[in-house]
Structure 1
Amino acid sequence: MTSHKTAAVGIIGGTGLTSLSNLDIMAEEAVETRWGAPSSALIRGQLGNQPVIFLARHGNPHRIPPHQVNYRANIQALYDAGARVLIGVNAVGGIHPDMGPAHIVIPDQLIDYTWGRPGTFFENDLEEVTHIDFTWPYDREARKLLIDTARSLNLAHSDFGVYGATQGPRLETAAEIRRMERDGCDLVGMTGMPEAALAAELGLRYVSLGLVVNWAAGKSEQIITMADIEEAIRQGMAGVRQILERSMSGLGQLVLTPRSS
């Protein structure tokens, strides 16, 4: 299934995570896929004893807006390089009252509000139309590992959440957030889709590790500023890094087993 490549855990770093300080880097690979170039070079290395492939979703430096990320190239590149478990690190806005700035969330569901993004590998010259089961977008066993790790580290976190993926790059209006809340969303972000669906199409185990960086529009009397977002990232990203590092050995046990729901 992985050809000559070593099966690995893939980490897709979002806003606030363009590199991993404790990653023992072995190679940096600039690659091309049939969908074009991914957002950044693939950083191949080890986190502890686990082979890891790191990719900066918005590029390094951070300059690709959410609606222009080449999600197909990113997922294809990680798959071709041997990644079989993917952790998508997402900066998100908090809608649920328990999910304020610097809070960590491991969501269990999502709603897609994006539009116009190439969102499938199954198009053009198909032998047959292909539909995937996407009932549970995040891998159950990978989620449990991240949740158990957060608990063991005594980090404040939520082990549930509906992620609402919006188009961006602008932030949402207060009315849009009220609609999303009525729809059942606990979080709002801009990169959760089509990333999760593309991973599922390739049979990858995919899980989101979210860091709340601001209250969603209308959930606070304050306007949303980049300074406040950067402060929440500063406060919360250390916990995200701890979870990634501590969970690697367990995630490594999943790389050679099929995706679960």
Structure 2
Amino acid sequence: MHVLILGGTTEARALAALLHPETRVTSSLAGRVASPRLPVGEVRIGGFGGADGLAAWVREHHVDAVIDATHPFAENISFNAARAAATAHVPLLALRRPGWVPVEGDRWHSAASLEEAAALLDGLGERVFLTTGRMGLAAFADCPQWFLVRSVDAPESPMPDRTEVLLDRGPFTLDGERDLLHRYGIDVLVTKDSGGAATAPKLRAAREAGIPVVIVRRPPVPEGVETAASPEGAAAWVHGLAEG
């Protein structure tokens, strides 16, 4: 059985490790990170050329099932995967880690987009810790606030005029996040609802410091696509296909 896993997320790597070597696994990475952490099994890097290109690749390489384990905000590839799987007549599963849930003491402000998040900043704070990734900084380019931008690779313009870039890769510790908020005088945090434990300590650090958090809601999974909340659940889905 040949399974194509889309995504370089922590969950995608864990799923590849659960399936390999009993199942042939090909993990496809977008190539947006210069030095990605590679999973076990076969790996391809780069795009497919849209839904039609992905469907053609699935057929050519005799893929039996596709698992969309991309980042919860990788909306385009998720919809391309749904179209490609339907075209190639192969089953598709979306592996999505659960989103974050506010607890007592959190000061969360929900936003539907990065642009809406930028509009919410006025009145919330002047020194912003921006952890939405390096691809969407243009949404904040006209904001007057000072920004600390944390990303794996260096971002490109356009970005806010008053920006300091911190290159780092999770997982992050609670003590480290506490120190960062204090050291840079952060008074508002902006993040996406990525879920997972690797970057969650910033939320607790913000809660302890009484700092408001602007959280961008994740886009929905394409309609009709089955989902799993963990690598173990996705592996069970694959095993069920094999046994069926």
Task: Give the TM-score range, shorter chain.
Answer: 0.3 to 0.5
TM-score by length of 1: 0.36
TM-score, with length taken from structure 2: 0.38
Higher gyration radius (CA): 2
Higher relative CO (CA 8 A, sep ≥ 6), structure 1 or 2? 1
More helix by share: 2
